[in-house]
């Protein structure tokens, strides 16, 4: 099952910080702007590997519109 696969995949992390934290991490949605510095790529990769639920990259025009407000 998917839950069993996730338990095996994140076993070390669950032992480190507990299943509650891992569940919160899995339900997290990160929103990233296209202007994110290149060195953030490694951090985003590591967060994805740690089990972040979703990483959304917003369109550049939307990011610019939000910055103007």
Q: What are the residues whose beta carbons fall under 8 Å from the beta carbon of 50, sequence distance 6 or more?
A: 10, 13, 25
Q: What pLDDT, on a 0 to 100 scale, did the predictor assign at position 2?
A: 83
pLDDT tens digits for range 4-40: 888 889 999 899 989 899 999 999 999 888 777 777 8
Nearest to 25 by CA among 48, 57, 51: 51
Span 35-50, mean pLDDT?
85
Query: pTM for the whole thing?
Result: 0.67
Residues 6+ apart with CB under 8 A from 60: 33, 34, 35
Name the residue with higher pLDDT: 20 or 69.
Answer: 20
pLDDT at 69 over 70: no
Residue 58 near residue 31, CB atoms below 8 Å = yes
Rounded Cα gap, residues 38 and 41, in angstroms:
6
């Amino acid at each position: 099952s998917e839950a069993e696969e996730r338990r095996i995949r994140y076993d070390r992390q669950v032992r480190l910080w507990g299943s509650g934290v891992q569940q919160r991490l899995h339900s997290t949605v990160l929103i990233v702007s296209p202007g994110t510095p290149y060195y953030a790529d490694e951090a985003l990769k590591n967060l994805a590997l740690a089990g972040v639920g979703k990483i959304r990259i917003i369109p550049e025009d939307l990011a610019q519109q939000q910055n103007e407000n």
